[in-house]
Structure 1
Amino acid sequence: MLPIAPGIAAWGLMTGVAMVTSGMSDFQACLMSLIVFAGSSQLAAIPLISAGAPMWVILATGLCVNLRFVVFSLHLRPYLMHLPRWRRMLTGYLTADLSYVMFVQRFPEPGGDAARLKAQEAYLAGNCCMNWVSWVGASLLGVVLSNVIPSAWGLDFAGILALIGITCSMTNTRLRRVAAGVAGAAAVAAYALPLKLNILVAIAAAVAVCLLLEPPPPADTQGASGEAA
Structure 2
Amino acid sequence: MLPLNLAVLPWGILCGSLAIQNGFSALEAQLMSLLVFAGSAQLVAIELMAKDVSFVTLVITTFIISARHLLYGLSIRKKMIDKPLKWRGPIAFFLTDELFAFSHHHRAYQGKLRLVYALVAGASFYLAWNLWTFFGIVAGQYLPDLTNLGLDFAIAAIFIALVIPGITNTSTLVACIVSGLSMLYFKTVEFEFGLVAAALLGMTTGYLLQTKEDKS
- TM-score with structure 1 length normalisation? 0.83
2 CA distance for matches of 1:163 and 1:148? 30
Distance in 2 between residues matched to 1:154 and 1:6, nearest whole Å: 17
Decide which structure has the larger Cα Rg and report it.
1
How far is the alpha carbon of 1:37 from its aligned partner? 0.6
The answer as to 2:19 corresponding to 1:19 is yes
- Supply the distance in 1 between the matched residues of 2:186 and 2:213 (Cα, whole angstroms): 33
Q: Does 1:124 align with 2:118?
A: yes
Relative to structure 1, the CA distance from residue 155 to residue 193 in structure 2 (aligned partners, 3 Å threshold; closer, same or farther) is: closer
Partner amino acid, structure 1, of 2:177:
G
Deviation at 1:169, TM superposition (A): 3.0
The percent of aligned pairs where both chains have the same amino acid is 23
Matches within 5 A, 1:131-210: 131-150=125-144, 151=146, 153-191=149-187, 192-195=189-192, 197-210=193-206
Q: List runs of 5+ in structure 1 lacking aligned partners.
A: 220-229
Q: Which amino acid aligns with 2:140?
A: S
**1:23: how far off?**
2.3
For the residues of structure 2 that align with 1:51 and 1:213, how far apart are their CA atoms? 37
Please give the alpha-carbon distance, in whole angstroms, between the structure 2 residues aligned to 1:126 and 1:43.
25
Alignment of 1:45-64 (within 5 A): 45-64=45-64
* 1:110 Cα deviation from its structure 2 partner: 6.2
Stretch of structure 1 that moved more, 206-215 or 41-50: 206-215
Higher alpha-carbon deviation: 153-162 or 183-192:
153-162
Alpha-carbon offset, residue 22 of structure 1: 2.1
What is the DSSP-based 3-state SS (H/G/I as helix, E as strand, rest coil) of the residue aligned with 1:99? helix
- Paired with 2:72 and 2:15, the residues of 1 have a C-alpha distance of 23
Are positions 1:108 and 2:84 aligned together?
no
Write out per-residue CA displacement over residues 43-64 of structure 1, whole angstroms, 9 at most, x where no aligned residue.
2222111111111111111111
Equivalent residue number for residue 39 of structure 1: 39
Helix, strand or coil: the match of 1:193? coil
Other-structure match for 1:74: 74
Gaps of at least 5 residues in structure 2 are none
The root-mean-square deviation of aligned C-alpha atoms, in Å, is 2.2
Rounded Cα–Cα distance in structure 2 between residues aligned with 1:53 and 1:145:
26
